[in-house]
Amino acid sequence: MPPALRLDLPPASASGVGSLPGTAAREAAALALDLPGLPYLPELPARGPGADMIGRAFAVLTELYASLAPSGWRFDDRAGRDTRRAIAYLGEDLDALEERAQGYAGALKLQVAGPWTLAASVELRHGDKALADPGACRDIAASLADGLGGYTTEVRKRLSGLDRIVVQLDEPMLPAVLRGSVPTASGFGNLSAVEPAVVETGLRVPVQALAAAGVSTVVHCCAAEVPVGLLHRVGVAGLGVDMALLGDPEPWGEFLEASGVLFAGVVPATDAQLPSPATAVQPVRELWSRLGLPAAGLAGVIPVPTCGLAGASIAHASSAAARCVEAADLLTEAANG
């Protein structure tokens, strides 16, 4: 199945995964908006609970609420203090983006935790994680699809110059969900693996809802064993991975040949010496060579850090963004021969 909604971006586009260090929303927005082709709305987990990946999702979900328990996020029957805090952080980020993006015309990427990472991370009110309850998993997917409709509409109202919105579903827990290695709430065992067909069905709910609204979906997974074939069948337009964890390249061939976009994690997400642009893009060029893909396709690869930058210094985050831009330029040069 080809991508449900193709992601056509200018050559030499770069982006980020989502999170940045620090607590200053305006400065973070300025850094993210400097990226060519696909800037994004940053997340700042250092602000505390509600600004983290799971908390951000509860600012988007409709009719599902959560509060913080000693063991982590847990579903609640009302929008309490923790949910309201998450909504306030999202509002702060949108305000900063709107202020910094005056006059911007182009694409913008939003990020939110995907349905299976949410199900593997949030506990039911009186039980195990939501992943153990098929009904709860379906409710999460439906709530996410509905909430993303309102979220993308709000962003379009604030930034009238946008010509497209891309939504990235963060699914770091997806491989663990499929292989049955998600710990129970007690930590003394693992929850049963979810059948691939069920995982596909859950992911299609938000992906198809977004496509109907003219929004392309990207899935990012910084873990090993990314289920490329499954995600291709779901119809996502792009896949984001740490290139060091790529694994078997063969499943990527069909996805890339069908105009799927690779968000290539090629720059360290934590403070470390940055690779040269040529070294950074080498795994991408090797993948193209092994699959026998036309060099022209390299111009469509989106260089990104290997994961979110929340654990990095602000200086490293800025340098990593600049290196992604240099890597994108180099890939475009290679595509042009």
pLDDT in tens, 105-115: 999 999 999 99
Interhelix angle 81-100/134-158, rounded to 10 degrees, is 30
CATH number at residue 56: 3.20.20.210
Torsion 140-28-155-94 (CA) sign: positive
- pLDDT (tens digit per residue) in 20-48: 999 999 999 999 999 999 999 999 999 99
Those residues whose C-beta lies under 8 Å from the C-beta of residue 315, and which sit 6 or more positions away, are: none
The pLDDT assigned to 2 comes to 42
pLDDT band at 187 (very low <50, low <70, confident <90, very high): confident
CA 265 – CA 281 distance, rounded (Å) = 9
* More confident position, 53 or 186: 53
The pLDDT assigned to 49 comes to 94
Residue 129 lies in a domain: yes
CA 183 – CA 177 distance, rounded (Å) = 10
Residue 14 lies in a domain: no
Residue 198 lies in a domain: yes
Those residues whose C-beta lies under 8 Å from the C-beta of residue 167, and which sit 6 or more positions away, are: 109, 110, 111, 112, 148, 152, 206, 210, 215, 216, 217, 218
pLDDT(3) > 70? no
Residue 207 lies in a domain: yes
CA R_g for the chain: 19
Residue 90: give the domain boundaries: 25-335
- pLDDT (tens digit per residue) in 149-167: 999 999 999 999 999 999 9
Q: Map residue 298 onto helix, strand or coil.
A: helix
pLDDT(331) > 50? yes
Start-end of H helices in the chain = 25-33, 53-58, 81-100, 115-121, 134-158, 174-179, 196-212, 228-234, 250-257, 277-291, 314-335
Q: What is the mean pLDDT of residues 8-28?
A: 97
Residue 248 lies in a domain: yes
pLDDT(337) > 90? no
Residue 16 lies in a domain: no
Total domains in the fold of the chain? 1
Those residues whose C-beta lies under 8 Å from the C-beta of residue 230, and which sit 6 or more positions away, are: 178, 196, 199, 200
Name the phi and psi angles at 85, rounded to 5: -65, -45
Share of the chain above pLDDT 70, in %: 99
The pLDDT assigned to 247 comes to 87
